[in-house]
Amino acid sequence: MPRNARACPGCGADERSGWNEDATRYDGLDLPDSAFSEETEQAARRQHTRGLWLVVGAGLLVLGFLGLILR
Protein backbone atom coordinates (compact mmCIF):
# COMPACT_ATOMS: atom_id res chain seq x y z
CA MET A 1 0.00 0.00 0.00
CA PRO A 2 1.54 3.34 -0.99
CA ARG A 3 2.25 5.80 1.79
CA ASN A 4 -0.47 8.48 2.19
CA ALA A 5 -2.82 6.57 -0.14
CA ARG A 6 -6.50 7.40 0.25
CA ALA A 7 -7.69 4.00 -0.99
CA CYS A 8 -6.28 0.53 -1.49
CA PRO A 9 -5.35 0.02 -5.16
CA GLY A 10 -6.21 -3.71 -4.94
CA CYS A 11 -9.66 -3.78 -3.37
CA GLY A 12 -10.75 -0.13 -3.38
CA ALA A 13 -11.26 0.08 0.39
CA ASP A 14 -10.89 3.54 1.86
CA GLU A 15 -11.31 5.25 5.21
CA ARG A 16 -15.05 5.73 4.64
CA SER A 17 -15.88 2.18 3.56
CA GLY A 18 -13.38 0.36 5.74
CA TRP A 19 -11.33 -2.63 4.72
CA ASN A 20 -12.82 -5.04 2.28
CA GLU A 21 -13.68 -8.34 3.99
CA ASP A 22 -13.28 -11.67 2.21
CA ALA A 23 -17.05 -12.20 2.44
CA THR A 24 -17.77 -9.12 0.32
CA ARG A 25 -14.87 -9.36 -2.12
CA TYR A 26 -17.02 -10.56 -5.04
CA ASP A 27 -20.24 -8.66 -4.29
CA GLY A 28 -20.04 -6.49 -7.40
CA LEU A 29 -19.66 -9.41 -9.84
CA ASP A 30 -23.36 -10.46 -9.89
CA LEU A 31 -22.42 -14.14 -9.67
CA PRO A 32 -24.96 -16.68 -8.39
CA ASP A 33 -24.47 -18.01 -4.87
CA SER A 34 -23.85 -21.47 -6.32
CA ALA A 35 -20.62 -20.21 -7.89
CA PHE A 36 -19.02 -20.22 -4.45
CA SER A 37 -20.28 -23.49 -3.06
CA GLU A 38 -19.24 -27.12 -3.19
CA GLU A 39 -22.40 -27.82 -5.21
CA THR A 40 -20.60 -26.43 -8.24
CA GLU A 41 -18.21 -29.39 -8.24
CA GLN A 42 -21.10 -31.84 -8.00
CA ALA A 43 -22.93 -30.12 -10.86
CA ALA A 44 -19.77 -30.29 -12.99
CA ARG A 45 -19.48 -34.03 -12.28
CA ARG A 46 -23.13 -34.59 -13.24
CA GLN A 47 -22.64 -32.64 -16.45
CA HIS A 48 -19.52 -34.67 -17.26
CA THR A 49 -21.42 -37.92 -16.63
CA ARG A 50 -24.28 -36.77 -18.89
CA GLY A 51 -21.80 -35.97 -21.64
CA LEU A 52 -20.20 -39.38 -21.24
CA TRP A 53 -23.58 -41.12 -21.57
CA LEU A 54 -24.37 -39.01 -24.63
CA VAL A 55 -21.15 -40.16 -26.30
CA VAL A 56 -21.81 -43.81 -25.35
CA GLY A 57 -25.37 -43.62 -26.66
CA ALA A 58 -24.28 -42.00 -29.93
CA GLY A 59 -21.60 -44.67 -30.35
CA LEU A 60 -24.15 -47.44 -29.85
CA LEU A 61 -26.46 -45.86 -32.42
CA VAL A 62 -23.63 -45.66 -34.94
CA LEU A 63 -22.66 -49.29 -34.31
CA GLY A 64 -26.30 -50.38 -34.71
CA PHE A 65 -26.64 -48.42 -37.94
CA LEU A 66 -23.41 -49.93 -39.29
CA GLY A 67 -24.68 -53.37 -38.34
CA LEU A 68 -27.84 -52.83 -40.39
CA ILE A 69 -25.89 -51.58 -43.41
CA LEU A 70 -23.33 -54.39 -43.40
CA ARG A 71 -25.91 -57.22 -43.28
pTM of structure: 0.41
Q: How far is CA 29 from CA 2, 26, 32, in A?
A: 26, 6, 9
Higher-pLDDT residue of 41 and 64 is 64
Give per-residue pLDDT as tens, 9-39.
777 777 777 655 555 555 566 666 666 666 6
Whole-angstrom distance, CA of residue 46 vs CA of residue 18? 41
Whole-angstrom distance, CA of residue 55 vs CA of residue 57? 5
